[in-house]
């Protein structure tokens, strides 16, 4: 392996993996994509803001659709990270309602999703339960 690159621009890998949002300087709304104006207040100035690495599942879906390179079923979730809403998959948990629940405490994690011919790994983010699951995953 010759290196690692994040799959999205708002994932920072070093020194510790974390997410960085664009925060409106007028109202504090946070976004992960590039913005010309804030969708909340219309402000046009943004600063970078680190997003909390832990959070709580506020919505989720068990996805059964098969996609190339993605094991299914999997858990797609919306996580509240100390006031910042983040969409991401929940990994290291059995994808069923007995193991995933609203209010579940999770933390940011990373996973390699591919390697190019030069050996560079593409790294994605996900969330994993803060407490170990009982099924050993």
pLDDT tens by residue, 48-67: 999 999 999 999 999 998 87
Report whether 79 contacts 68 (CB < 8 A): no
Residue 11 has pLDDT above 60, yes or no: yes
Give the pLDDT score at 68. 77
Q: What is the mean pLDDT of residues 101-109?
A: 97
Give residue limits of the domains in the chain.
3-129
Residue among 35, 15, 17 at smallest CA distance from 25: 35
Give the pLDDT score at 131. 81
- List strand residue ranges (DSSP E) for 9-119, in order: 11-12, 18-24, 30-31, 46-50, 54-63, 74-81, 84-90, 105-115
The structure's pTM equals 0.88
Residue among 126, 16, 134 at smallest CA distance from 75: 126
Give the pLDDT score at 133. 52
């Amino acid at each position: 392996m010759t290196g690692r690159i994040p799959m999205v621009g708002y994932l920072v890998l070093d020194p510790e993996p974390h997410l960085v949002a664009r925060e409106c300087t007028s109202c504090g709304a946070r976004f992960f994509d590039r913005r010309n104006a804030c969708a909340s207040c219309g402000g046009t100035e943004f600063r970078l803001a680190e997003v909390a690495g832990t959070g709580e599942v506020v919505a989720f879906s068990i996805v059964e659709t098969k996609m190339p390179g993605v094991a299914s079923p999997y858990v797609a979730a919306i996580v509240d990270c100390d006031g910042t809403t983040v969409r991401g998959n929940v990994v290291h948990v059995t994808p069923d309602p007995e193991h995933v629940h609203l209010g579940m405490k999770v933390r940011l994690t990373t996973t390699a999703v591919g390697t190019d011919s030069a050996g560079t790994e593409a790294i994605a983010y996900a969330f994993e339960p803060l407490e170990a699951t009982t099924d050993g995953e």
